[in-house]
Amino acid sequence: LLKATEILAKEGFLVFPYTNDDPIMAKKLVDAGAVAVMPLAAPIGSGLGIRNPYNIRIILETVKAPVIVDAGVGTASDVAVAMELGCDAVLLNTAIAGAKDPIAMASAMKHAVIAGRLAYKAGRIPKKLYAAASSPIEGMI
Protein backbone atom coordinates (compact mmCIF):
# COMPACT_ATOMS: atom_id res chain seq x y z
CA LEU A 1 0.00 0.00 0.00
CA LEU A 2 2.79 2.37 0.90
CA LYS A 3 4.78 1.66 -2.26
CA ALA A 4 1.65 1.89 -4.43
CA THR A 5 0.80 5.26 -2.86
CA GLU A 6 4.32 6.50 -3.55
CA ILE A 7 4.26 5.40 -7.20
CA LEU A 8 0.75 6.66 -7.94
CA ALA A 9 1.37 10.02 -6.27
CA LYS A 10 4.57 10.50 -8.31
CA GLU A 11 2.57 9.75 -11.46
CA GLY A 12 0.12 12.53 -10.59
CA PHE A 13 -2.75 10.51 -9.15
CA LEU A 14 -4.69 11.79 -6.15
CA VAL A 15 -4.34 8.87 -3.76
CA PHE A 16 -6.92 8.19 -1.03
CA PRO A 17 -5.62 4.95 0.53
CA TYR A 18 -7.97 2.73 2.52
CA THR A 19 -5.97 1.44 5.46
CA ASN A 20 -6.25 0.09 8.98
CA ASP A 21 -6.34 2.46 11.96
CA ASP A 22 -2.56 2.43 12.48
CA PRO A 23 -1.39 6.03 13.11
CA ILE A 24 2.17 5.28 11.98
CA MET A 25 1.01 3.87 8.64
CA ALA A 26 -1.38 6.79 8.16
CA LYS A 27 1.51 9.24 8.60
CA LYS A 28 3.74 7.24 6.22
CA LEU A 29 0.97 7.24 3.59
CA VAL A 30 0.60 11.02 3.75
CA ASP A 31 4.38 11.43 3.67
CA ALA A 32 4.38 9.19 0.56
CA GLY A 33 1.96 11.55 -1.20
CA ALA A 34 -1.56 10.51 -0.17
CA VAL A 35 -3.93 13.48 -0.28
CA ALA A 36 -6.13 11.88 2.42
CA VAL A 37 -6.18 8.74 4.54
CA MET A 38 -9.15 6.44 4.97
CA PRO A 39 -8.77 4.37 8.14
CA LEU A 40 -11.32 1.68 8.84
CA ALA A 41 -13.64 2.02 11.82
CA ALA A 42 -14.06 -1.76 12.01
CA PRO A 43 -13.89 -4.67 9.54
CA ILE A 44 -15.62 -3.83 6.27
CA GLY A 45 -19.32 -4.60 6.28
CA SER A 46 -19.34 -5.45 10.00
CA GLY A 47 -21.36 -2.47 11.20
CA LEU A 48 -19.43 -2.53 14.49
CA GLY A 49 -18.71 1.21 14.51
CA ILE A 50 -15.44 2.80 15.58
CA ARG A 51 -13.62 0.09 17.54
CA ASN A 52 -10.59 2.20 18.43
CA PRO A 53 -11.41 5.90 18.71
CA TYR A 54 -8.01 6.52 20.30
CA ASN A 55 -6.13 5.51 17.15
CA ILE A 56 -8.45 7.66 15.03
CA ARG A 57 -7.69 10.63 17.33
CA ILE A 58 -3.95 10.01 17.04
CA ILE A 59 -4.26 9.85 13.25
CA LEU A 60 -6.14 13.15 13.29
CA GLU A 61 -3.41 14.75 15.42
CA THR A 62 -0.56 13.27 13.38
CA VAL A 63 -1.42 13.63 9.71
CA LYS A 64 -1.72 16.87 7.80
CA ALA A 65 -4.38 15.61 5.40
CA PRO A 66 -8.10 14.89 5.49
CA VAL A 67 -9.15 11.80 7.46
CA ILE A 68 -12.13 9.91 6.04
CA VAL A 69 -13.44 7.04 8.15
CA ASP A 70 -14.22 4.09 5.91
CA ALA A 71 -15.65 0.64 6.64
CA GLY A 72 -17.40 -0.79 9.65
CA VAL A 73 -19.90 2.02 10.12
CA GLY A 74 -23.32 0.59 10.95
CA THR A 75 -25.64 3.41 11.95
CA ALA A 76 -25.98 7.15 12.43
CA SER A 77 -24.45 7.17 15.91
CA ASP A 78 -21.22 5.71 14.45
CA VAL A 79 -21.09 8.59 11.98
CA ALA A 80 -21.71 11.13 14.74
CA VAL A 81 -18.80 9.67 16.75
CA ALA A 82 -16.45 9.90 13.75
CA MET A 83 -17.40 13.52 13.17
CA GLU A 84 -17.17 14.36 16.90
CA LEU A 85 -13.62 13.00 16.87
CA GLY A 86 -12.80 15.55 14.16
CA CYS A 87 -12.85 13.39 11.03
CA ASP A 88 -13.35 15.25 7.78
CA ALA A 89 -15.84 12.78 6.33
CA VAL A 90 -17.25 9.27 6.54
CA LEU A 91 -17.55 6.97 3.52
CA LEU A 92 -20.75 4.94 3.67
CA ASN A 93 -22.15 2.03 1.72
CA THR A 94 -23.36 -1.09 3.54
CA ALA A 95 -24.95 0.84 6.42
CA ILE A 96 -27.27 2.56 3.95
CA ALA A 97 -27.62 -0.13 1.27
CA GLY A 98 -28.30 -2.85 3.83
CA ALA A 99 -30.74 -0.87 5.99
CA LYS A 100 -34.40 -1.87 6.15
CA ASP A 101 -35.21 1.64 4.84
CA PRO A 102 -32.15 2.96 2.96
CA ILE A 103 -33.72 6.37 2.30
CA ALA A 104 -34.45 6.92 5.99
CA MET A 105 -30.97 5.67 6.93
CA ALA A 106 -29.34 8.05 4.44
CA SER A 107 -31.29 10.90 6.01
CA ALA A 108 -30.22 9.79 9.49
CA MET A 109 -26.59 9.71 8.32
CA LYS A 110 -26.87 13.24 6.96
CA HIS A 111 -28.18 14.50 10.29
CA ALA A 112 -25.47 12.58 12.17
CA VAL A 113 -22.76 14.25 10.09
CA ILE A 114 -24.23 17.66 10.83
CA ALA A 115 -24.72 16.95 14.56
CA GLY A 116 -21.29 15.37 14.99
CA ARG A 117 -19.50 18.20 13.21
CA LEU A 118 -21.37 20.85 15.22
CA ALA A 119 -20.51 19.03 18.46
CA TYR A 120 -16.85 18.84 17.44
CA LYS A 121 -16.73 22.54 16.64
CA ALA A 122 -18.62 23.45 19.84
CA GLY A 123 -16.12 21.52 21.98
CA ARG A 124 -17.19 18.91 24.48
CA ILE A 125 -16.73 19.23 28.22
CA PRO A 126 -13.79 17.29 29.65
CA LYS A 127 -14.54 13.76 30.80
CA LYS A 128 -14.13 13.29 34.55
CA LEU A 129 -13.86 10.16 36.65
CA TYR A 130 -16.06 11.59 39.41
CA ALA A 131 -19.26 13.61 39.47
CA ALA A 132 -19.03 17.37 39.89
CA ALA A 133 -21.90 19.76 40.53
CA SER A 134 -22.63 21.71 37.39
CA SER A 135 -24.83 24.37 38.98
CA PRO A 136 -23.03 27.07 40.95
CA ILE A 137 -23.75 26.98 44.67
CA GLU A 138 -21.28 29.64 45.81
CA GLY A 139 -23.13 32.68 47.10
CA MET A 140 -26.49 30.95 46.62
CA ILE A 141 -26.86 29.19 49.94
Helix count (H) and strand count (E) of the chain? 6, 4
**CATH number for the domain formed by residue range(s) 2-122:** 3.20.20.70
Q: Per the confidence metrics, is the pTM higher than 0.75?
A: yes
> Domain coordinates of the chain in residue numbers?
2-122
**What pLDDT digit, counting tens, does each position of 56-113 carry?**
999 999 999 999 999 889 999 999 999 999 999 999 999 999 999 999 999 999 999 9
CA distances from 82 to 25, 46, 53, 117, 128 (A): 19, 16, 8, 9, 21
**What pLDDT digit, counting tens, does each position of 104-137 carry?**
999 999 999 999 999 999 998 888 888 877 776 6
Do the Cβ atoms of 105 and 96 come closer than 8 Å?
Answer: yes
The alpha-carbon radius of gyration of the chain (Å, integer) is: 18
For residue 80, give every residue at least 6 positions away whose Cβ sits within 8 Å of its Cβ, in sequence order, or none.
112, 113, 115, 116, 119
pLDDT at 141 over 70: no
Tell me how far apart the alpha carbons of residues 17 and 83 are, in angstroms, rounded to a whole number: 19
